[in-house]
Structure 1
Amino acid sequence: MLNSQMANAYKNQQIMTASPAQLTLLLYNGALKFLNESIIALEQGDIQKSNSANLRVQNIIREFVVTLDMSYEVSKTWAQLYEYIEYSLIQGNIKKDIGQLQNAKGILQEMRDTWEEAMKQTQITRVAGK
């Protein structure tokens, strides 16, 4: 019990001190974690657990969509990708189709990696004073 409380305290501290960019990365990581849980549960035949984890991913994806700043052209592309991910999640959930979930996972992983690389490049630029 104490380890669980310590882990929760650490997670809360991490969230409370994170920058908006870091929070976005945490959300990507959470979405991928829940998507992996959904896939594994589906493979094991635990439909309820798979559904629950899938819904958590869908909620994160919807949050990404509503927080996009659509004044940037790239946001329109990302919105389309998020919509496709959500579609794949829903289809995977309805049809119990691991392929659809794997498809969503691949795209989400690429987006997460792109976000992380952008964060690194931004940090390099700041350090260089540009």
Structure 2
Amino acid sequence: MSLNKHYQTYQNNAVNTASGAELTMMLYNGCIKFIKQAKKNMNEKDYEAKNVNIQKAQSIIQELMLTLDPEIEISNQMLPLYEYMLHQLKEGNIKNEPSLLDEALIYAVEFRDTWKEVILKTGQNQYAQGAKV
């Protein structure tokens, strides 16, 4: 089994055994990773890769939007922020403007860091302690 295959197996196991809190953390980390990669692609003028990475970040945000519970007040406050992030990513993609991606990235990092604090305070898992992108 190749090293890549072992890593893929590890990642699949991590996702399949993760709690809901851990999965949310993974989504935030993935979103951050893809936005950063899209910015790098933009700087390298690799517009096809930039588009793919922005679309991945947008898909993650859309998934996060689906997890919001409209019965909980904070969900109603987060939805417009997620919509704003999607808008900034779309505009950044169209205009090839890194500052628009930066704005979405700031929100993603803030949400990830806040979520990390929630996990640590509720003691849901050790995953948050090592979550850095």
Report the TM-score, using the length of structure 2 for normalisation: 0.90
Per the alignment, residue 128 of structure 1 pairs with none
Per the alignment, residue 26 of structure 1 pairs with 26
Give CA-to-partner distance per residue, 1:3-45, whole Å, 9 cap, x none.
1001101001100110000001001111111111100000110
Deviation at 1:66, TM superposition (A): 1.5
Give CA-to-partner distance per residue, 1:57-100, whole Å, 9 cap, x none.
00010111112001011111111110110010000001111000
Per the alignment, residue 61 of structure 2 pairs with 61
Runs of 4+ in 1 over 2 A off after TM superposition: none
* Greater relative contact order (Cα < 8 A, sep 6+): 2
Per the alignment, residue 37 of structure 2 pairs with 37
Query: After superposition, where does 1:104-119 map in structure 2 within 5 Å?
Result: 104-119=104-119
Gaps of at least 5 residues in structure 2 are 125-133
| Distance in 2, Cα, partners of 1:94 & 1:77 | 27
Query: After superposition, where does 1:61-100 map in structure 2 within 5 Å?
Result: 61-100=61-100
Gaps of at least 5 residues in structure 1 are 125-130
Q: How many residues align?
A: 124
RMSD of the TM alignment (CA)? 1.1
Report the TM-score, using the length of structure 1 for normalisation: 0.92
